[in-house]
Amino acid sequence: MRIETTRFGPIEINADRVITFADGLLGFPGRRRFALIETTNDAVFFWLQSVDDPGLAFVVCDPQAFVPDYRAQVRADDLRLLEMRDLADCQVFVIVNKVDTWLTANLLGPLVIGAGSRLGRQLVLSDRRYTVQHRLRDVRGASAAAKTA
């Protein structure tokens, strides 16, 4: 399946890799089909690219790469909608943004994807340990360091 993207140009993905968010994502209820794009083999960050909107893509990551004790509380109803029995059968990602000089993650709005079903849901957590702008990494000077490496 060929999809158009503004970041990578046209790319080919297997149709069975499309993730369907029946309710869309917060702020984007009409965008339901996405593909997870890995830009390198050892990527920490991925692109969640809309299949239907070339300009809509989010940087995402596994939150445990930065917050090892992170746990998304997934209700039984959510698992049922994902056609999964257990959170262990799911992948959890969070959306990453750049705020000033920091990469931040929305730990209160994780994306949970059923590994077998390819169905996804964005949850809204009420866990006070987490924020919508959890600092992951200071990127100040990262461009200069990359150029000298």
pTM score, whole prediction: 0.89
What's the N-to-C CA distance of the chain in angstroms?
37
With 90 as the cut, is the pLDDT of residue 149 above it? no
- For residue 143, pLDDT over 60 is answered with no
Using an 8 Å Cβ cutoff, are 148 and 47 in contact? no
| Domain ranges for the chain | 2-148
Q: What ranges make up the beta strands (E) of 8-130?
A: 11-12, 19-21, 33-37, 45-50, 57-61, 90-99, 102-105, 111-114, 119-122
pLDDT tens digits for range 74-124: 999 999 999 999 889 999 999 999 999 999 999 999 999 999 999 999 999
Domain 2-148: which CATH number of 3.40.50.720, 2.40.50.140, 1.10.357.10, 2.30.290.10? 2.30.290.10
Average pLDDT over all residues of the chain: 91
Q: What is the pLDDT of residues 5-28, one digit of tens each?
A: 999 999 999 999 999 999 999 999
Burial class (CB in 10 A: 0-12, 13-18, 19+), 94: buried
